[in-house]
Amino acid sequence: MAVIMHHDTRFGLDKKAQLIGPVQLDSGAEFAPVECAYETYGALNADKSNAILICHALTGDQYVASNHPVTGKAGWWTRMVGPGKPIDPARHCIISINVLGSCMGSSGPASIDPLTGAPYAMAFPVITIADMVRAQALLLNYLGIETLEAVVGGSMGGMQALSWAALYPDRVRSAVIIASTARHSAQNIAFHEVGRQAIMADPRWNNGAYYGQEAPAAGLAVARMAAHITYLSEAGLTEKFGRRLQNRDAKSFGFDADFQVESYLRHQGLSFVDRFDANSYLYITRAMDYFDLAESHNGALAKVFSGTKTRFCLISFDSDWLYPTAESRRIVHALNAAGAAASFVELSSPFGHDAFLLEAPEMNRIVDGFLRAGENR
């Protein structure tokens, strides 16, 4: 059981707990102490049965329904979380935790190593999705939450939701997995490697030891640009940009951003470096690449969920080529083989992988119905 060393008790934003831990990592190492930055919305009911954990994606954070402290933008899932939304603070105690390895308050490469008084940088241990979930479990232990009404996540958040159901089946009554996968494909790994190499090729990366100096912004921006292409669809890009020129009537016959899509990607890259740490990007993409839920069961995904009592809801999008519908179907087939309660739907959207973050009334209706059915059991 984790012992609390420090807890920020301010109501609302920017809660943080430092737990003695340790987290037993898949690499064989132990990590301690463990800092967890998190947000909560709503309150626990008398029997502590209404807690919902929302897991964020690669570049996400705990600010699921509150303004981001760096960008000032609204929370990344206000379409799903909030008053009158499927995940409602009037009905649910909602918890969102910044993952281990990230850079918005939880332990990560930019955190101070208590043994040296300097940032961990590349001395931070390599972690996995399961390690992130184990750290989250430590925090929930401290908060006195034994059982989750649901764990919900899209993309990497879906990987965490699956890992929660696999590692702690008795603690998860329901799991909602959106636009996700049970393993990273060779293509997924390849795109991540391009991004990592862009960061590490930036001379300012300095083998990760850039804290207190200029960060490798150029490399991180290129990594974000490459990844962002995978979040979109060809149809969506064509509809939004086509081959239209950016603020000009003719081609420049140079290497400025002639096309709107070039300008868009450059903006995405530049805005990203203001809110994210390059080393965290390396560590989290590596955790995603290592993700293969069936690996420890000789590739038999059904064995991961054998005997589970958790209810599952899976949602995919037809234009998502990063985690295509076939990946969700593979999970559903495994859940069916394990005798688990599983529902699945493929939704139509032109927006590719990013569809789960955008206005999707059908997705909201499905999640709302699934959660309400669980509450009424």
Q: Among 103-112, 130-139, 255-264, 333-342, where is mean pLDDT lowest?
A: 255-264
Correct CATH for 4-184+292-375 of 3.40.50.1820, 3.40.50.620, 3.40.50.720, 3.40.190.10? 3.40.50.1820
* Among 56, 184, 192, 353, the one annotated catalytic: 353
Task: Please give the helix or strand (H or E) that residue 24 lies within, else none.
Answer: strand 23-24
Average pLDDT, integer, range 3-9: 38
> Model confidence over 143-182: pLDDT tens digits?
999 999 999 999 999 999 999 999 999 999 999 999 999 9
Domain residue extents for the chain: 4-184+292-375, 188-285
* Among 155, 174, 280, 316, the one annotated catalytic: 155
What is the reported pTM?
A: 0.95
Contact 171, 133 (CB under 8 A): no
* Among 131, 202, 289, 320, the one annotated catalytic: 320
Give dist(CA 41, CA 115) in Å, integer. Answer: 35
Site of tokens 């309660």: 341
Task: Please give the helix or strand (H or E) that residue 327 lies within, else none.
Answer: helix 325-337
Q: Is 353 a catalytic residue?
A: yes
Q: Is the pLDDT of residue 1 over 80?
A: no
Read off the DSSP letter of residue 131. Answer: H
Correct CATH for 188-285 of 3.40.50.2000, 1.10.1740.110, 3.40.50.1820, 3.30.70.1140? 1.10.1740.110
Q: Is 306 a catalytic residue?
A: no
Average pLDDT, integer, range 318-332: 98
> Model confidence over 25-62: pLDDT tens digits?
999 999 999 999 999 999 999 999 999 999 999 999 99
Q: Is 185 a catalytic residue?
A: no
